[in-house]
Structure 1
Amino acid sequence: MSYPVDKEEKPILLLDGECGLCNKFASFMYSKLHDKQAVQFVGIESEVGQSIIATFQDDLQQMDTVYFVDGISVRTKSSAVILCLKMMRFPYRFMAFLVWLCPKGIRNVAYDFVAKRRRSFFGTSDSCVWDAFPSNHGAEN
């Protein structure tokens, strides 16, 4: 199945724009990216985000997760986080390898634990921090 991101275009990271943890992660990731133009950040609840998610299989549409969409596939949960780490400078690229060594089931249990509690631990935000990222200029978030 092909997704609304062309293989030649930069991947899209779909995040909860109202989640404090997601905003902190986006800011942190952006500051550590090897190539600041390598990824586009989009809010899940935005019009663009909803139109992308609408193209996913039903089981993917219902997930409460971060999505990494690259035109070929959609990665969710810890697999999406690993791809994010791989886009960042050292030592985060190396950390991606270490996290990948952990079995996916265990990684996703840890991801789900944090995801279920993220709003109570990190609060909420009124706006997406990534709106100001130069890599997102020209894109609706």
Structure 2
Amino acid sequence: MRATQLAFFSVVAIVLVGVGAYAVGEFRAPVEEPGVITPKGAGEEEAELACPEPDAVPLSPAEVTVTVLNGTGRSGLAGETSEQLGERGYTVGDPGNTVSPAVRPRSSTAPRGTWPPSPSWPSSRRGS
């Protein structure tokens, strides 16, 4: 029985060492174009990026359409922000919510009484 176990674990160790050596070789392999990052699109169409001409003038707010999406847990934030942008002269699209939050909630290790920074923070997160 002991000889079988020794043989089995020896084979497993040799396979793991081989897989590790292969992985290290793959990571060290030169890339096709060093220093070039492969562009990744967020949608179906790729946006064309170009630098403005030296004599270019920024668009006026009325020429810019802004659609605000809320990625937080705070209800109505997109609407409030859209109103503020509209008051500043921007053309505002329909505000809405994102599919998933932009920032995931995380735990705080701040001492009790120093967190949250504002009274509008949900009471379930205040630690009281």
Give the alignment's TM-score, normalised by structure 1: 0.19
Bigger RCO (CA 8 Å, 6+ sep): 1
- Structure with greater proportional helix content: 1
Say which one has the larger Rg: 2
